[in-house]
Structure 1
Amino acid sequence: MSSTGSAAAPGPSRPAVHVPVLLERVTELLGPACAPAGAVLVDATLGLAGHALALLHAHPDLRLVGLDRDPEARAEAARRIAAAGCADRATLVPAVFDELPDVLDRLGIAEVQAVLFDLGVSSLQLDRPDRGFSYAADAPLDMRMDPAAPRTAADVVNSYPAAQLARVLRSYGEERFADRIARAIERERASEPFTRTGRLAELVRSAIPAATRRTGGHPAKRTFQALRIEVNDELGVLERALPAAIDALAVGGRLAVITFHSLEDRIVKQTLAAGATDRTPPELPVPLPELGPTLRLLTRGGEAPSDAEVAANPRAASARVRAAERIRRAA
């Protein structure tokens, strides 16, 4: 569900041109697990199905289970998968990715061979101004990945106490002027609630010192990221979903995760590192097999896209991929 590029003016009937991030590397990392006959790939963040289609094309016996909470994304992914002649090998499910165990249980799938998470905002969401994810265009202050979800960004901005709002901006946006921005929001919403992205973006700009505004991109970038994460509980969902995905992997199965900011990457790094660690107490003379690693790391840290990929698709610049292979069942 990556923050990926587009080359056309999108709209309800003209979706963004999809440029999957780190496509070649992800295909390489998950390929060995997807190759066996009957292998199942879970694309936990299906988006516009760019990665999933590449793997379906590369592995003719692969079956796809695609999860996405966004009905527009699912509809477009289904259209693309059908156009590619792969509809008979794909099952698309309206679900948030921490619902993975329930989805697999309903489908009668005991274990899977590959899982992909492509985190962040999809092209469809980012390039549709009416979804309210971007500070670059004035739109309703929404930011819900699932348009039927109960809480919008406007609800957060207009109802959270200033201290709670500052915590969200600081924790999820790593915004050093979180307190100033939260106090400014509290003052302004008292006279008129926030309903549009443009007004919020302009307030954030005015709340940040002028010297700081001259560098580092748009001043509202961190605030909008923080609100999006809060509205969609992105980090909480990820913390629940990763262990579930690892549990679902067969021995020899592989997991790949693409992140777009340090908060996501830290969660992925810690989870995979824990699975790749021998937990035998140091005072014992020999390793205990039942306490040995369950994962083997396949990447050296978080791997970045090439300079050529970033030049072709600037939104890929912050992407990192980490991957691991299941080497044994937990005791």
Structure 2
Amino acid sequence: MTGAERQTQGAPHVPVLLRALLETVAPVTGVWVDGTFGAGGYSRGLLEAGADRVIGIDRDPLAFELAAPWIGEYGDRLRLVAGTFSDLDRLAGEPLDGVALDLGVSSMQLDRAERGFSFMKDGPLDMRMGQAGPSAEDLVNDAPEALIADILFHYGEERAARRIAKAIVAERAKGRIATTLHLARIVEGCLPRKKPGQSHPATRAFQAIRIAVNDEFRQLAEGLDAAERALKPGGKLAVVTFHSLEDRVVKRYLADRASEGGGGSRHAPMERARVPTFLLTPKKAIAPDEAELALNPRARSARLRVATRTEAPAAPVDRSVLGLPQLTEVL
């Protein structure tokens, strides 16, 4: 039995693409950051695979509370730090051999109705990963209609964004929207009935609101920059995404950092030649195989991208190349 298999059996959830990640970055050695610690799946997998130490970062206090019964078995090989992965270079405090980021909401959060992430279970309309700051309830009840529509369209690719935003504003005029199922019913009422095999009608809306509440795209862009600053030459960056918007940002970031410049055409000026800060290893994203999908259907949309740090000095990336969704109004 591999380290990944032992780890998966002991963990409270199934870490998506863990086996593929460990195989792609092998051999796993040195100091790694698990920038989205969650239920600890990737940290355990990295330690079992041979990492000397793992620094687990999470903004959710619940992650460390749930890890308390088992982290002792790893002694000083596992260090937990409260914070966000956008600040991982400072929080780690040392050069790194690897960084793993598992983006999106964790099973630990999704499966708890009281956290307000799921449209399948009734609970308070919260969605805050860090359990602090404005909640989803605050957003849907207090934000202007135009901003809600903007969030739904740009962060959820929801075509009925304006219709849903209008329905939310009309409903909140009757009384505060305070629960997940209340919001889900509003969204469902604006869309055609779900057909067999289709995702829940509220999927895109809930994704969009969660992203806005947790400022996920800014966190992602800054986290990729922080990983570049922290990684040693030869260090590995492994990022697992769960929807096309996230994957687009990661793909464009790594393509830009792996570029040597040059090129150009009659429509665009030639870029100045530069030394890449990452090499794409492999060049394309890795998707879950059939065995993983059978074990964990939630992994269907997941994609893993891995890159290897070069010796070139880190430099700020031009945000305009990342395809970050842009809101016309400010939260």
Give the TM bin, normalised by the shorter chain.
0.7 to 0.9
Query: Aligned residue for 2:255?
Result: 273
| Structure 1 runs of 4+ with >4 Å offset | 280-283
Query: Aligned residue for 2:108?
Result: 124
Query: Aligned residue for 2:292?
Result: 309
Query: Aligned residue for 2:327?
Result: none
Question: Is the deviation greater in 273-282 or in 94-103?
Answer: 273-282
Are 1:23 and 2:38 an aligned pair? no
TM-score by length of 1: 0.86
Query: Aligned residue for 2:319?
Result: none
Alpha-carbon contact 1:49-1:81 (below 8 Å) kept:
no
Structure 2 CA distance for partners of 1:293 and 1:16, relative to 1, 3 Å = closer
Gaps of 5+ in 1: 1-14, 284-288
Distance in 2 of aligned mates of 1:118 and 1:56: 16
Distance in 2 of aligned mates of 1:227 and 1:87: 38
Query: Aligned residue for 1:45?
Result: 36
Q: 1:185 aligns with which of 168, 185, 191?
A: 168
Q: 1:88 aligns with which of 65, 76, 80?
A: 76
1:301 deviation in Å?
A: 2.1
Distance in 1 of aligned mates of 2:103 and 2:155: 15
Counting only pairs closer than 5 Å after superposition, residues 1-331 of structure 1 correspond to structure 2 as: 17-32=12-27, 34-35=28-29, 39-59=30-50, 62-82=52-72, 85-104=73-92, 107=93, 109=94, 111-147=95-131, 149-210=132-193, 213-214=194-195, 216-280=198-262, 291-330=274-313
Distance in 2 of aligned mates of 1:120 and 1:281: 35
Structure 2 CA distance for partners of 1:77 and 1:30, relative to 1, 3 Å = farther
Structure 2 CA distance for partners of 1:93 and 1:134, relative to 1, 3 Å = same
Distance in 2 of aligned mates of 1:48 and 1:175: 30
Which amino acid counterpart does residue 30 of structure 1 have in structure 2? V
SS for the counterpart of 1:255 is strand
Distance in 2 of aligned mates of 1:280 and 1:62: 40
Structure 2 CA distance for partners of 1:128 and 1:282, relative to 1, 3 Å = closer
Q: Percent of aligned positions with the same letter in both sequences?
A: 47
TM-score by length of 2: 0.86
1:230 deviation in Å?
A: 0.5
Alpha-carbon contact 1:290-1:330 (below 8 Å) kept:
no
Alpha-carbon contact 2:126-2:135 (below 8 Å) kept:
yes
SS for the counterpart of 1:79 is coil
1:66 deviation in Å?
A: 0.8
Alpha-carbon contact 2:103-2:239 (below 8 Å) kept:
yes
Distance in 1 of aligned mates of 2:302 and 2:48: 24
Give me the CA root mean square deviation: 2.1
